Amino acid sequence: MFSPPSATISASINTGSTTETINTTSPYSLLPADIIQAHILPILDGCTLASMGCVTPELRSLSSDEKLWSDICHSTWPSTTTPHLRHLISSFPGGGPRSFFSLSFQFPLFPSILSSNRHPPSLSPSCLLPEQLISAVDIFYRGKCIFSKVQETETVTGWFRCSPLRVDLLGPKESVPTPIRRPSHDDTCRDLYADLELSWIVIDPTAQRAVNLSSFRPVSVERHWLSGELHVKYAAVMGGEVMCSVEVTCVGGGPGGSLVLHVREACLKMEEISGGHLNGKDSLVILQRLLEGKRGNLCGKGGMKGRVEEGRRRYLEYLERKKERKEKMLRREGKLDDMCVGIGVLLIIGLIYVICFCSR
């Protein structure tokens, strides 16, 4: 393996009575800039490239090249190679493709989504909701992209804002073939947890902001007991109170059912912890705050592996809080039922007493 030479930099430090000379090593400092830019930086992933930019000012300048980050965005999300998204991403403030990667790769940090009365927050009058959302979706199987689509959704219609949020990628008669073999009846489909990956990036083209609403790997895989359909769910939980889920339905396709699965449905939904689905307007309010919010630095937590673990952790916490909330509501309803029964018994006893008293 080739090891780049190191340059030794001498520095004098005055420690009072003596002066000590410390030699520090700076990797890559003797390599020509064109060698680093042509043969080293292009083979790095986004997290490593961002880390390289923190080593020296020279590497920071080289790692800020727009073409490098554009290539990384295209290799990470093939849907970004469409001409419209290329132009849109290049205009993102703060570095174009580099800014887009940073916004789309990291998880949004949002401590609280719902207000104290369990309703979505409202924006200030000066803030405008997005009039259009662009979804850049990529599905991977064992590291290879098997489906990519860019879909634009108008958000100004009354139907969208009043109906439960649902963004469908496929029509009723559309399906996408995959190389995934159809599971047998005793197959638990555990392999799909590691093999089937999905990215769903929502872009506000006007504000030039983006956020990834997928956990990348499934948080649950279930097979319908009767039809054999596979329901694969990806989720991004915000504040432990709202979950944006992507549900992918896979079925056996072709005459008589083929040996491979077809993606028949892929849709985006948003629900709050009580189980109700949010409508388009409330979802836009939350998306607006997510698009403008901060991101967690997952590059320091294992890159994509850290993103998957974080998504899984948030989802399990969400299910636990949802279970506790349901049990609390059941206990409250049980107490109300007991109270109603007690009041009914007292009324019956009182009625009997009145009847007996009047009959004397």
pLDDT one-digit tens code per residue, 116-167: 444 555 544 445 788 899 999 999 998 899 999 999 999 988 899 899 999 9
- H or E element, residue 24: strand 19-27
Q: Which residue in this structure is represented by tokens 């990470």?
A: 76
Domain presence at residue 121: yes
The residue with greater pLDDT, 171 or 56, is 171
Give me the pLDDT at residue 127, please.
57
How confident is the model over 235-256, as a mean pLDDT?
79
Q: Is the pLDDT of residue 80 over 90?
A: yes
Torsional sign, CA 260, 261, 263, 268: negative
For the chain, the domain total comes to 1
Domain presence at residue 187: yes
Give me the pLDDT at residue 27, please.
54
Residue 220: which of 200, 190, 244 has the closest Cα? 190
Q: Is the pLDDT of residue 28 over 50?
A: yes
The residue with greater pLDDT, 7 or 177, is 177
Q: Strand 230-238 and strand 220-223: pairing?
A: antiparallel
In whole angstroms, what is the distance from residue 83 CA to residue 54 CA? 31
Domain presence at residue 164: yes
Domain presence at residue 7: no
In whole angstroms, what is the distance from residue 77 CA to residue 137 CA? 8
Domain presence at residue 152: yes
Q: Is the pLDDT of residue 234 over 90?
A: yes
How confident is the model over 205-219, as a mean pLDDT?
90
Could you list the residue range(s) of the whole structural domain that residue 121 is in? 110-323
Give me the pLDDT at residue 275, please.
78
Give me the pLDDT at residue 18, please.
45
Q: Which residue in this structure is represented by tokens 């979802």?
A: 283
285-304 pLDDT tens trace:
888 888 887 776 655 555 66
Confidence of residue 29 (pLDDT cuts 50, 70, 90): low
Q: Which residue in this structure is represented by tokens 């915000």?
A: 238
In whole angstroms, what is the distance from residue 176 CA to residue 261 CA? 9
In whole angstroms, what is the distance from residue 242 CA to residue 112 CA? 9
177-208 pLDDT tens trace:
888 887 665 565 777 888 899 999 999 999 89
User: What is the pTM for the complete model shown?
Assistant: 0.78
Domain presence at residue 86: no
Domain presence at residue 56: no
Tell me which range, 43-52, 94-103, 333-342, 345-354, is most confidently predicted by mean pLDDT: 94-103
Strands (E), 101-241: 108-109, 132-141, 144-154, 166-168, 176-181, 196-204, 209-212, 220-223, 230-238
Q: What percent of the chain has pLDDT over 70?
A: 80
Q: Which residues are 147's β-sheet partners?
A: 139
Q: Is residue 257 within 8 Å of 177, Cβ to Cβ?
A: no
How confident is the model over 49-56, as a mean pLDDT?
78
Domain presence at residue 131: yes
Q: Is the pLDDT of residue 8 over 50?
A: no
The residue with greater pLDDT, 238 or 306, is 238
Joined together, the tokens standing for residue 298 give 């997952």
Question: How much is the mean pLDDT over the chain?
Answer: 78
Name the 3-class secondary structure at 107.
Answer: coil
The residue with greater pLDDT, 257 or 174, is 174
Give me the pLDDT at residue 167, please.
92
